[in-house]
Chain A
Amino acid sequence: MTSTFLGMPTTAPRGVGHLRGDQSFPAAARRALADSQLRRNLGHATATIRAKSAAVIAEAPDWQQLRDAGAAIKADVMARLPELLEQLEAAVTAAGGTVHWAADAVEANRIVTELVAATGSDRVIKVKSMATQEIGLNEALEAAGITPVETDLAELIVQLGDDRPSHILVPAIHRNRAEIREIFLREMPGVDPALTDDPVALAAAARRYLRQTFLHTPVAVSGANFAVAETGTLVVVESEGNGRMCLTLPETLITVMGVEKVVPTWRDLEVFLQLLPRASTGERMNPYTSMWTGVSPGDGPQQVHLVLLDNGRSAVLADEVGRQALHCIRCSACLNVCPVYERTGGHAYGSVYPGPIGAVLSPQLTGVEENASLPYASSLCGACYDACPVKINIPELLVHLRAAHVTAQRRPTTESIAMAAAAYTMDHPALYAAAQRAARLTRLAGRRGRGLPPPLSGWTIGRDLPQPPPQTFREWWAER
């Protein structure tokens, strides 16, 4: 991005990575809504995780205070991001690590590919990382003749099935056990042909398949859940132990992290390590959390790299309301409570960031005009805000982005007409409240309707109807 003016906050570039879908949300959603197996899998999975999470959150008497602290820490991070990153860089460097800065996906992919190539390995093991999915790292590595091996079970299911992730936390949430068994039988080299669809047997098959790869791959790529500016400590939170394998066994470790993941102090981890597992997997603590500070002589990777990624984050930060989206700790709670996500699944959102957070983050990373339908992919029922462990006001952001989108519009389009209807609903408190109530009731009753909840039901149906006469739209426009 050398052609960019210095210091201009910049959105993520086109043509690389996975922030844009090839269809608008309503078109993609309609396809998903027709897939009843998908809706059953999603309904079952999200209901299960909501119940687990509610139970462990109820055990924490100070949950609201933890949320307040988490929100305040993240707001502080955004206000001081440049200096915290410089502090992080200094601490990681002092501990023997190397810090790289990547302005966008293209540069991050180039840095990682060069680092892997320098090890001489034609294979790299990967632990689940949203950032590397966002930048399309696997495609870049493959283009350079390097095989990336996803080691997270769900990522492996997605990779072997030549599929796309559909959930932040459980990327293969759209697959049931029978489908997973079929994928393993078809695609996993050396798999036992008598493999059953028992989850224990499926997990054991993945263990056998990956063990040799773990032991014999000299370089790993990871993401990071948190990075502590004060100490240079990086944190990966996981369940299966594939993270520990990647973080411990190879000689070289490359961590790719969005710049917003930094937290100021070591002590701040006491907040996030309580919030994340309870909101995310619904556990008091996830099975494994690894923390490393640079290089530990004789223990683990001796070449430790950290790639700090912008790729549109500076543009998000530039919007004082919108920057809340950078507070996200990727717990996926907002997906699991969302009545729209529950019906459409993650693929409809087009981006690697699906669900309510995706609806506000992706359009900001790319510029709202390139993900224009996403801010409308919500019924504004408010469940995501209540569920968010760092109190991101997603409904407020959605409304904000809809307004930004309309301002950017020069002529009436289907999108802006749909927006007009949504805005009309929002400007009329009684209608809005009714829509909100209806959405909540639908969610509570656990109905598995074919369509989207109101007011989106009207919208998706409306896309099949003739457009309103332009005159009506302009009249409405003039009144604003």
Chain B
Amino acid sequence: MVGRTVNSRELILGRLRAAIGPTTTTPAEVPRDYRPAGGDVDLDVLVHRLTDYRATVHRCSDAEVAKVVDEVLGGQRVVVPPRVPGHWLPATVAAVTDENLTAEQIAAFDGVVTAAAVAIAETGTVVLDAAPDQGRRVITLLPDVHICVLRTDQVVAGAPDAIARLDPNRPLTWISGPSATSDIELNRVEGVHGPRRLHVVIVPRP
């Protein structure tokens, strides 16, 4: 197996080298005249874009997050990552911290409450990076409702800002609205396999 792999590796690299011929190894100059990172952040744009893609947006103080969670998931079972702030969770939800729960156990929860790493205003995108306040990727995938709490200082203008802030060594999930498909006559239908409802709670920077 190893021998065969090495042979194919040399074979393919040899073919590709022959195909391009004698070549320079200096990277080419790429014209990057598109809008760079550092643009102004407009929270209203973020709210519009999130809403446009059928996410529900709430704007409140950090202290009021628990009220929103109560409105959305009160009386239901919620899974949370290890370091989600305790004051986000109202007494009305039964919150269980994910400590190596099985996928089946996670799938049985009604909802999940997490923080976020970055959000992109222009595209209405929230990015999770599996930090302890966001948790393993699986917990935001199987429950049907995802409440994601975002601080305004985590919001950036465009994709270049997000790429600059994110760490590629972490598993990243970019989320733009709830799960959707356009596979049936190109109609957008929300809710196929991921959470069918996405709530984004925007709170001021601490």
Contacts and interface: CB of A to CB of B under 8 A. Distances in A.
A267 B161 CA distance: 10
Interface stretch (B28-36, B67-75, B89-97): B28-36
A244 B194 CA distance: 8
Nearest to B179: A241
B34 A62 contact: yes
A407 B32 CA distance: 40
Contacts of B205: none
Nearest to A7: B14
A48 to B, nearest CB: 5
A24 interface: no
A147 interface: no
Interface residues of A, number: 106
Interface string A1-39: 110101111100000000000000000000000000000
B8 to A, nearest CB: 4
B104 interface: yes
A245 B31 contact: no
Interface string A281-297: 10111111111110010
Contacts of B31: 65, 68-69, 72
Given A285-B125, A290-B172, A299-B137, A241 B12 contact: no
Contacts of B104: 215
Given A153-B192, A172-B183, A289-B174, A273 B34 contact: no
Given A72-B30, A240-B194, A296 B182 contact: no
A286 B183 contact: no
A80 B23 contact: yes
A259 B12 contact: yes
Contacts of B173: 244, 288-291
B136 interface: yes
B13 A85 contact: yes
A244 B18 contact: no
A79 B20 contact: yes
B57 to A, nearest CB: 16
Interface of B: 1, 5, 7-20, 23-25, 27-35, 37, 49, 53, 100, 103-104, 107, 120, 122-125, 130, 136-138, 141, 158-160, 162-164, 168-187, 189, 191-195
Given A68-B33, A293-B169, 12 more contacts: A45-B186, A69-B34, A82-B17, A103-B12, A203-B192, A266-B168, A267-B163, A284-B124, A285-B123, A290-B171, A299-B130, A318-B19
